[in-house]
Amino acid sequence: MAKLEILKYPHPFLKKRANPVSIDKIDNYLRITIANMFETMYENHGGGLAATQVGLNMRLFIMDGSENKDQKFVAINPEIIERKGEIYEEEGCLSFPGVSAKVKRAAWIKMRALNEFGEMYELECDGYHGRCIQHEIDHLDGITYFDHLSPLKRQMIEKKYKKLMQENSEK
């Protein structure tokens, strides 16, 4: 498998809305891409990864919130079809290494998507998985968790992030 490069903020591709995946493009090549995305996510200790984060213009994300890396989850052309409640929890992102912030999300969601074999499914979830799905779908829409922050909070986190990136580049 091939590890992919995770794009880091402020890369302009992170602001791009991804195109839907055509059903005829759900093939072995796409499944290899998905496997490469999982390898990349696991190597970077992430719980989810959107295709746009690795420079792929397609509505696809993967997720695995388990410690044993045994609960792989694929969503192609995902859409949230129902939301309930509200939570305010800490979020991080592989495209913003080293920083996190509290973000307001729906407490419960119902999502519809295709799996890696082109089969339609619906999923209801809350907690970590619900937040992660919302976070990844935001990526596919060109939205980062920074976009959910107040201008003051965003400025504070960006300053910390830029300092971390500068320190890492000097090493």
- DSSP single-letter state for residue 98: T
d(CA 120, CA 79): 11
Catalytic residue among 67, 79, 86, 136: 136
Helix then strand then coil, % of the chain, to nearest 5: 40, 25, 35
The three-state secondary structure class of 64 is coil
Q: Is 7 exposed, middle or buried (0-12, 13-18, 19+ CB in 10 A)?
A: middle
Based on the residue annotation, tell me whether 158 is a catalytic residue of this protein. Answer: no
Cβ atoms of residues 155 and 106 within 8 Å = no
Furthest-apart CA atoms within the chain: distance in Å: 47
Written as six digits, the tokens of 30 are 């796409």
d(CA 102, CA 18): 25
Catalytic residues: 136
